[in-house]
């Protein structure tokens, strides 16, 4: 078996840049796990933090307010380019941010599709997830990074 080099956080950031949608998993009010797709908006100068825009009245935001422990899963389709697909799973703590300066820092124009008034959209929040552990699998290698 060929020995492979452990991936770094920078390696994972490069992979994540090509994966737009992430599944954000939270603990629901009844104790179950709820997951929904969230766009990372290519905001992946990844240092262990992921950023997602949402509305304040969503179940995801209510779940996070109750329990900040969350999970993120990503699947990259690198298999189409002749390379094996990549899977990334992160676990960490989520924080709800209601600061317009933070909104502006992470805003990209494509978000206007969902938030028509931009950073002034009523009820807009930013979900920040700080990962404690990031696991990856790429068909040839697997490992864990702790940001």
The domain spans of the chain are 9-145
CATH T-level topology, domain 9-145: Pnp Oxidase; Chain A (2.30.110)
Distance CA 71, CA 23 (A): 8
Q: Is 136 exposed, middle or buried (CB count within 10 Å of its CB: 0-12, 13-18, 19+)?
A: buried
pLDDT tens by residue, the chain, 147 residues: 444 567 787 777 777 777 888 999 999 999 999 999 998 776 656 677 889 999 999 999 999 999 999 999 988 775 444 566 788 899 999 999 999 999 999 998 888 999 999 999 999 999 999 989 989 887 777 888 887
């Amino acid at each position: 078996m060929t020995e492979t080099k452990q991936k770094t956080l920078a390696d994972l950031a490069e992979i994540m840049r090509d994966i737009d949608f992430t599944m954000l998993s939270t603990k629901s009010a009844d104790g179950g796990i709820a997951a929904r797709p969230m766009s990372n908006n290519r905001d992946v100068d990844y240092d262990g933090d992921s950023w997602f825009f949402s509305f304040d009245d969503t179940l995801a935001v209510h779940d996070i307010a109750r329990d900040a422990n969350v999970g993120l899963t990503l699947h990259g389709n690198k298999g189409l380019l002749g390379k094996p697909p990549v899977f990334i799973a992160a676990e960490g703590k989520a924080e709800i941010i209601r600061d317009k300066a933070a909104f502006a820092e992470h805003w990209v124009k494509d978000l206007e599709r969902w938030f028509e008034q931009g950073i002034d959209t009523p009820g807009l929040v930013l979900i920040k997830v700080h990962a404690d552990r990031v696991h990856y699998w790429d068909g040839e290698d697997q490992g864990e990074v702790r940001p």
